[in-house]
Amino acid sequence: MFKINENYLKLPGSYLFSAIGKKVNAYSAAHPDKKIIRLGIGDVTQPLAPAILEALHRAVDEMGRAETFRGYAPDLGYEFLRSAIAGQDYQARGCEISADEIFVSDGAKCDSANIQELFSLDNRIAVCDPVYPVYVDSNVMAGRTGTYDSAKETWSDVIYMPCTADNAFAPELPGDGQTPDLIYLCFPNNPTGAVISKARLQEWVDYANRVGAVILFDAAYEAYISEPDIPHSIYECEGARTCAIELRSFSKNAGFTGLRLGFTVVPKELKCGDVSLHGMWARRHGTKYNGAPYIVQRAGEAVYSPEGKAQLKEQIAAYMKNAAYIFNGLKEAGYTVSGGVNSPYIWLKTPGGMSSWEFFDCLLEQVNVVGTPGSGFGPNGEGYFRLTAFGSYENTVEAVDRIRKLHL
C-alpha cells in the first residue's frame, strides 16, 4: 500500500496568497456591487512594454516557419539570454559572473522552492522573520524543519532572524549555537521593503564563508533600488562566489508575472568538498525541467535592449510614484510606515494594536481594499501589514484615500 510524503501534512493552513484569494473571492461574491482595490498580492498591472511585445510577436512568427521553428530549448537557457544577463546585470556592475553560471527558469518562485533540493535534509535553514512563505514551506515539504509549534507559529529546526523596527528590518548575524547551513536573504525585502547596505551584506558574506553556510540571495526586487550604496547583487561583495546563490526574476522589473521567467546564478566556485553546486543544479535542470519557452526567453532578451530598458524604467517609475503616494499618504494620516523607497512594498504598523488579520478584514470589509497581513509572513510580522505599489495610480490614490477615511 502506497504512503504519502507526510511532511505535506505538517503544513499549517494553505499557502498565504491562496488563503487571501479565497477570502477576497468570498467577500466579492457576497458583495458583487463593491469595487475592491487589490494591493495585496505583489502582482503587476501595467501591460507589457512595447519592446517586449514586439519581441514576442517576432518570436511567435519564428515558431511558425520551419526554418526558424525552435523545439526543446537548451536545458539551462538560450545563450542569447544568458549572455545578456551576465553582461548587463553582472559584468556591467563589476560582478564576475559568466553566462554559463546563469540558469534560466520559469520564475524565482519555482527556483526558490526547488533550490533546497540540492542540500542535505540535515541542513539547518535560517530565515528572516517575517519572510516570503515559499522559503520555509518548501523546506517543510522536504522534511527539513522539524515540528511545528502552532502557538508560536514556528518550526523547531528553523533559525528565525527577527526583522523588526529595532533593527530597521535587517537581521543580525545568528548567535553562537545557532549556526545555519542555508541562509535565505531577500533584499530589497519582501515583505518589509527594507534594504541592506553593501557593508552589512559584506558581513553576511564573510560570516557565511567563515561558518561554511550558503546564502540564498533573492534579489527579485533589485530594479526598485533608488538609493546609492545599496547592493543590486550579492556578487558586489567580496567572496560571494564561494558562498552565495542569487535568485532573480523578470516579474517585477519587466511585468512578467504572467509570462514566467527568472534565473538563478550559481558560481562555479561554490562547492561542498569537491562537489560543485553548479553541476548539481545543472543536473537538476537537465532531469527535472525542460527550459523556459523560446518566445519568453526572447521577451527576456528584449528587457536588455535600449528600448526595453527605457520603457521599463518608466514602468518602474510609475510604480514608485504609487509607492511614494502610499508611503506619504499613510504617514500623514499617522501610520507608522517603512519600505517603499527602494522597493514596491510599503510595510505599515496596524493601528490601535489590531492584529494583522483583523486589519485585513477591516480594510476588506469597510473600505474594500485588499492588502497582505504581516503575520502571514511570520510571527514578527504580526501587527504589521503589507501594501504593494503595483496597482494603477488611480486605484492607489483611491485606496489610500479610503484608508485615510477609515474610522478605527
Give me the phi and psi of 53, to 5 degrees please.
-60, -45
Cβ-contact 271, 280 below 8 angstroms: no
* Residue 28 binds to a second copy (criterion: CB under 8 A): no
State the nearest-atom distance from the C-beta of 113 to a second copy, in Å. Answer: 4
Give me the phi and psi of 177, to 5 degrees please.
75, 5
Show the CA angle centred on residue 373, arms to residues 332 and 223, nearest 5°.
Answer: 70
Longest Cα pair distance anywhere in the chain, in angstroms?
A: 65
Q: Which stretch binds a second copy (CB under 8 A): 54-62, 221-229, 304-312, 380-388?
A: 54-62
Q: By C-beta, is 122 or 229 nearer to a second copy?
A: 122
* Residue 15 binds to a second copy (criterion: CB under 8 A): yes
User: Which residues fall within 8 angstroms of residue 27, CB to CB, at 6 or more apart?
Assistant: 34, 36, 364, 365
* Residue 296 binds to a second copy (criterion: CB under 8 A): yes
State the nearest-atom distance from the C-beta of 275 to a second copy, in Å. Answer: 6
Q: By C-beta, is 72 or 408 nearer to a second copy?
A: 72
* Residue 290 binds to a second copy (criterion: CB under 8 A): yes
Give me the phi and psi of 49, to 5 degrees please.
-70, 150
Q: By C-beta, is 259 or 363 nearer to a second copy?
A: 259
d(CA 215, CA 241): 10
* Residue 137 binds to a second copy (criterion: CB under 8 A): yes
Site for a second copy in 190-229 (CB under 8 A): 211-214
State the nearest-atom distance from the C-beta of 331 to a second copy, in Å. Answer: 28
Site for a second copy in 154-193 (CB under 8 A): 181-182
Is the dihedral angle over the CA atoms 397, 400, 404, 406 positive or is it negative?
A: positive
Length of the chain as a residue count: 408
Q: Which of 81, 86, 118, 254 is in the footprint of a second copy by CB under 8 A? A: 118
State the nearest-atom distance from the C-beta of 106 to a second copy, in Å. Answer: 6
* Residue 2 binds to a second copy (criterion: CB under 8 A): yes
d(CA 86, CA 107): 17
Q: Which stretch binds a second copy (CB under 8 A): 29-37, 60-68, 157-165, 335-343?
A: 60-68
Q: Which stretch binds a second copy (CB under 8 A): 36-44, 317-325, 353-361, 367-375?
A: 36-44
Q: Which of 103, 119, 217, 385 is in the footprint of a second copy by CB under 8 A? A: 119
* Residue 318 binds to a second copy (criterion: CB under 8 A): no
Q: How many other CB atoms sit within 10 Å of the CB of residue 17?
A: 15
d(CA 384, CA 371): 11
d(CA 371, CA 363): 8
Q: How does DSSP classify residue 91? A: G
Site for a second copy in 366-385 (CB under 8 A): none
Q: Which residue bears the cell 509549534?
A: 149
Q: By C-beta, is 56 or 354 nearer to a second copy?
A: 56
Site for a second copy in 71-110 (CB under 8 A): 71-73, 75, 106-107, 109-110
